[in-house]
A and B are shown apart, each in its own frame.
Chain A
């Protein structure tokens, strides 16, 4: 198939810098009164259907230090495996579940999303992909935002046939994308993000 050549070049990325919390989570940065709440801080609404879960992780650099200045965003399907439809310019009603979240890392480099477990989304081959969340990480020292995915430990069969996980031959590398489950009143899934080192997370070019 032929494709026309793109006419413009993408604007090059630059690091989000050490103060990205000012821009993306100002209330967390104690800049109060500009936004009523930080965008993406609350993913759940009373009308959100699905199993409530907590997703958490610690971002660690190659020296083992927490990346406390990071911002993490997630994008996920709803409980049925559907992504939210684009909103019109004059839309006044937020969807019951947008599926997008944004959290600052805290002083220990830890981010936490309160969300629902996503349903399975069809992959390019038509087969369902295992339930997952897309993650995007920016911080000082990250020149281009890092894209990765989070999968769920308690979906072994779906994970075994997943479109993306099957592109990673090394099981140790594959394991960097699979969150371990900690049972509780609200199930908690934990996935640490390693920017470098023996456990370096698989990052995506997509």
Chain B
């Protein structure tokens, strides 16, 4: 009988496919010019320091942490804008759910303005919108939050560059080497394809992974649209169990 390979928890992570991610230096996105390391990355392989990582109990979250419409309300009013639910599943490259992992998100308000002291765009702040939240994935790897759709906004890169509407995501996984920050875009937005930051990703199929799909089935009637955004973290190679069909 030949060796049987089963998914395992103890294998090393698949190497990160650097051609799928944006290269460090992408001249169209000018901020990379002085911030992209010039040396090649040193390949390390997995040690305990990379294969472990922090986890967080659900009790560390507050009830409104995943409700950006209400979590910064100053006067009891809700944030202004197109109401929507953003949800999705965190998976690994082996298509297995990643439960109990922290997902954080931040965004501009409906007018495209961030609540940040260095932000100078003329669109006004919404006094009831802070722009950040967090969730921990459930046993099946799902997260969800409620927010308003962020506006597009201009930024000083090429003179007249505009960011498409987007939400920033930070995800932990269960290993420090799975740590990921990315941005989510909206299905059908023509602004996506003229953005230098989106364009830092070479492969259109990779960009497609960042585009959330409108999900009519999960809209809340008379309340909120729904967008689905699944996130894939690095997966682990299987450990091999010789001549055993199950267990170890």
Contacts and interface: CB of A to CB of B under 8 A. Distances in A.
B146 interface: no
Interface in B165-207: 168, 170, 174, 176-177, 179-183, 197-198, 200-201, 205-207
Nearest to A65: B34
Contact of B182 (A12, A35, A121, A140): A12
A19 B116 contact: yes
Interface string A84-105: 1011111111100011100000
B22 interface: yes
Interface string B52-72: 111111111010110000011
- Among B47, B64, B200, the most chain A Cβ lie within 10 Å of the Cβ of B47
A15 B95 CA distance: 25
A12 B209 contact: yes
Interface string A129-143: 100101010111111
Interface in B35-50: 35-39, 41-50
Interface in B103-136: 104-106, 114-119, 130-134, 136
* Closest A-B pairs by Cβ, 6 of them: A23-B106, A141-B31, A141-B35, A100-B54, A6-B93, A91-B57
Interface of A: 1-4, 6-24, 26, 29-31, 33-36, 39, 61-63, 65, 67, 73, 75, 77, 83-84, 86-94, 98-100, 121-124, 129, 132, 134, 136, 138-147, 149, 163-164, 167-168, 173, 195-196, 200-206
Interface of B: 3, 5, 7, 11, 13-18, 20-24, 26, 29, 31-39, 41-50, 52-60, 62, 64-65, 71-72, 91-95, 99-100, 102, 104-106, 114-119, 130-134, 136, 138-139, 168, 170, 174, 176-177, 179-183, 197-198, 200-201, 205-207, 209-210, 231-235, 237-238, 240
